[in-house]
Amino acid sequence: MKLAKEIFEEPEVANSFLIETFDELAVSARTSSRLRYHQILLFERGTGPLTIDNNTFKISDHCVFLMSKGQVLTFNSIRDTDGYKISFGDCFWEKAPQSASNCKAVLFNNTNANHQLQLSPTEFGELSFLFRALHAEYGASNYINQQDALAAYLKIIMIKLANVRLTEESTFDSQDYMLYRNFMELLSSRYRSHHAVSEYATLLNITARRLSELCKRCSGLGAKELINGQIIAEAKRRLQFSSATIKQIAYELHFNSPEQFSHFFKNNVTQSPAEFRLRAVGIEA
């Protein structure tokens, strides 16, 4: 079997936190990297395509891209770019005050819905100022509690980005939204082994019907759609960016058989896993 498309592992960074400008980043064309950390890209200006897993987006001025650890990021032919990249790990995020946890859940527990955020002029002005201030703080001489200051800046950026994502602040604080957030946190860690809505409903001590209804109100998608979306996103990553066999992927994702996995995949993607892999990277299953 031919090897899958070559990708690079994102290197480790000190203290699980890094902010750099695109000039410092020196992005290479068509370089694919599997992310070790959550990542935020702020484009002050720029053109060209950017690919997250197998989804390609058009870069524009005043936009933000959000990615979770484990996803694969490919810069294709970006041009004339100015902006910043933030990378942060969960252990660094723990330094941020607990009150910011809702914002991280909004943005990163379902990044498939949040990959690209277009900013208004006011939103861009506020975020551009915060990114510059965070970058300056990161480059300052080390001092006691500097990491806490960096985490505080990150918290403010997260709050501003979450407000871009959410249209009604009342939804953010509602009981249903809190349950939805808890569901998304469970989903992000258990989707490989938990495929049924009823399993998550039991963990949340609510009915499957209520879970589906609140997911629909908070995200526009039902609980089953969100679960299937997480499984499919991971399956696509493994098909495209690993040389594991379809049988191996099926069992890693807790399907009873390769046939069951193939049937599930085709129902959701309209291609079999083998067809998707061949079209995506040109390798045999």
Dist CA 155 CA 188 (whole Å): 21
Dist CA 96 CA 149 (whole Å): 9
Amino acid, single-letter form, for residue 131: F
Q: What pLDDT, on the 0 to 100 scale, is given for residue 2? A: 42
State both tokens at 125.
């002005």
Q: What is the pLDDT of residues 76-125, one digit of tens each?
A: 766 678 899 999 988 887 776 665 666 666 677 666 666 788 898 999 99
Q: What pLDDT, on the 0 to 100 scale, is given for residue 168? A: 40
* Residuewise pLDDT in 10s, the chain (285 residues): 444 456 677 788 888 999 999 887 655 445 678 888 899 999 998 888 888 887 888 888 999 999 888 888 887 766 678 899 999 988 887 776 665 666 666 677 666 666 788 898 999 999 999 999 999 999 999 998 899 899 999 989 988 888 776 544 445 556 777 788 889 888 888 999 999 999 999 999 999 999 999 888 877 789 999 999 889 988 988 888 888 999 999 999 999 999 999 999 999 999 999 999 888 765 544
3-state secondary structure labels for all residues of the chain: CCCCCCCEECCCCHHHEEEEEHHHHCCCCCEEEECCCEEEEEEEEEECEEEECCEEEECCCCEEEEECCCCEEEECCCEEEEEEEEEECHHHHCCCCHHHHHHHHHHHCCHHHCCEEECCHHHHHHHHHHHHHHHHHHHCCCCCCHHHHHHHHHHHHHHHHHHHHCCCHHHHHCHHHHHHHHHHHHHHHHCCCCCCHHHHHHHHCCCHHHHHHHHHHHHCCCHHHHHHHHHHHHHHHHHHHCCCCHHHHHHHCCCCCHHHHHHHHHHHHCCCHHHHHHHHHCCCC
* Nearest alpha-carbon partner for 70 in 188, 182, 193, 228: 188
What domains appear along the chain, each with residue ranges and CATH number? 8-166 (2.60.120.280), 172-281 (1.10.10.60)
